[in-house]
Amino acid sequence: MTRVNDGITINKTYIKNRLTMAPTVKFDYAGPDGKVTDKHVEHYRKRAEHGCGLICVEATAVTPGGRFGRNHMGLWDDEQIEGHKRIVEACHDNGAAVIIQLNHAGINANPELGETVGPSAVPTRDGEPARELTIDEIYDLQDKFVSAAVRAKEAGYDGVQLHGCHSYLINQFMSKTTNQRTDEYGGGYENRARFGAEIISKIRKECGDDFLISIRTAGIEPDVTTAISLAEEFVKAGCDYLQVSTGIDWEDDSLSEEELKKQGRPYNTVCELGVRFHEHFKGRVPVSCVNGINTPEIARYLIENDLVDTVDLGRAVLADPAFCEAVLEDKPYVKCLGCPRCQYGPGMPHKCPAKQKQ
């Protein structure tokens, strides 16, 4: 039986246990230049010090115009590399492997930063239609992801994770709601996965066979079967690791919180997405799940019952940087209070009420 303390090797990267830190953006840590700050370094250092096996650094913009807002960390410029080296060093010195999530917000980018673009001319977050990307612009944006991955490798990251969920650009190409194209990047699932799959292939070519490539992919788009078909395209392109979360559309009656409770499963339907992906890809590609894994018992249950290969921890390690030690060593911990709006979210003061109790 696999234990949470057991190591795992993904591609050539050894991860000392089955606990990973999910990418959670610190919206007010970076400045308009997108550079890493001391706050970033200390934030990730603390989680590495307390036993996290793999840290996935927060969504990092591949272009200035693809950001959520003006204060958003980036890797679109060589001058940003030095700061990322500091994050890598802080994690590696404390025994954690570290990858970085690369992102473009697409139709959900901040309109103050320039023209909003996406797969199709669908409404943006301010209600105005985005401009549909041309084929040449698609190629250019793919190259921006690849260039950011090359910078990540230069900074010392063990790999990268593509942000392919939560309604951002790669996910927008995956979804029929936001992708209404009729060319080779729209239509069937193979075409809707093409944008992300080609990025993976290009990163592999530029960064080498040993570089870990993950995608945080939509586990439902609009149903699990279709989402798995999309993910198959990413695996064919060279993806090493599927970290599963939610997408844009949810139309799958087979997912039920009530049914999970009847089965005695202590986790929610978002975690179940990762469980189903693991069942499908088992023995081929490692799979993680995420969402609501806020107690050691749930984390252990998922790993020790061979339901996933790793568990991604979000709010739990924000509320208490030492949460991993609670899972691995039965140490006491400060529990996430499950605030309706997490205090680490955009526009919030980063004063977690659970953390303040420490």
Q: Which CATH number goes with the domain that contains 216?
A: 3.20.20.70
C-alpha radius of gyration, the chain, whole number? 19
Tell me what percent of the residues of the chain surpass a pLDDT of 70.
99
Residues 250-254 have a mean pLDDT of: 96
Q: What's the Cα-to-Cα distance from 336 to each of 45, 122, 181, 333, 353, rounded to whole Å?
A: 20, 37, 42, 9, 9
Which of 291, 245, 250, 233 lies closest to 267 in space, CA to CA?
291
Q: What is the domain count for the chain?
A: 1
Q: How confident is the model at residue 29 (pLDDT cuts 50, 70, 90)?
A: very high
Q: What is the pLDDT of residue 146?
A: 99
- Report which secondary-structure segment, H or E, holds 244: strand 241-245
Residue 74 pairs in a beta bridge with 61
pLDDT at 11 over 80: yes
Question: What average pLDDT does the structure give for the chain?
Answer: 96
pLDDT at 358 over 70: no
Chain-centroid distance, C-alpha 281: 18
Phi, psi of 46 (to 5 degrees): -60, -40
Q: What is the pLDDT of residue 171?
A: 98
pLDDT at 201 over 60: yes
Residue 102 pairs in a beta bridge with 60, 162
Q: What is the pLDDT of residue 356?
A: 67
pLDDT digits (tens, 9 = 90+) for 113-160: 999 999 999 999 888 899 999 999 999 999 999 999 999 999 999 999
Residue 152 lies in a domain: yes
pTM of the model: 0.97
Task: Please indicate whether residue 284 or residue 358 has the higher confidence score (pLDDT).
Answer: 284
Task: Please indicate whether residue 341 or residue 56 has the higher confidence score (pLDDT).
Answer: 56
Q: What is the pLDDT of residue 126?
A: 84
Tell me what percent of the residues of the chain surpass a pLDDT of 90.
91
Give the 3-state DSSP-derived string for 251-311, with helices as H, strands as E and coil as C: CCCCCCHHHHHHCCCCCCHHHHHHHHHHHHHCCCCCEEEECCCCCHHHHHHHHHCCCCCEE
Q: What are the residue ranges of helices labelled H in the chain?
A: 38-49, 81-92, 135-155, 169-174, 189-207, 224-237, 257-262, 269-281, 296-304, 315-319, 323-329
DSSP letter at 8 equals E
CA dist 148 and 137 (Å) reads 17
Q: How confident is the model at residue 342 (pLDDT cuts 50, 70, 90)?
A: confident
CA dist 278 and 303 (Å) reads 11
pLDDT at 346 over 90: no
pLDDT at 344 over 90: no
**Which residue type occupies 213?**
I
Residue 95 lies in a domain: yes
Residue 226 lies in a domain: yes
Residue 1 lies in a domain: no
pLDDT at 36 over 60: yes
Query: Can you read off the two tokens belonging to residue 93?
Result: 């010195």
Residue 345 half-sphere exposure, CB side, CA atoms within 13 Å?
7
Tokens 């490539």 appear where?
A: 213
Q: What is the pLDDT of residue 178?
A: 98
Full domain range(s) for residue 223: 8-357
pLDDT digits (tens, 9 = 90+) for 287-328: 999 999 999 999 999 999 999 999 999 999 999 999 999 999
CA dist 188 and 6 (Å) reads 39
Q: How confident is the model at residue 347 (pLDDT cuts 50, 70, 90)?
A: confident
Which of 144, 111, 113, 103 lies closest to 130 in space, CA to CA?
111
pLDDT digits (tens, 9 = 90+) for 162-190: 999 999 999 999 999 999 999 999 999 99
Active site residues: 168
pLDDT at 355 over 70: no
Residue 257 pairs in a beta bridge with none
Residues 226-241 have a mean pLDDT of: 98
Q: What is the pLDDT of residue 21?
A: 98
Residue 319 lies in a domain: yes
Residue 184 lies in a domain: yes
Q: How confident is the model at residue 350 (pLDDT cuts 50, 70, 90)?
A: confident
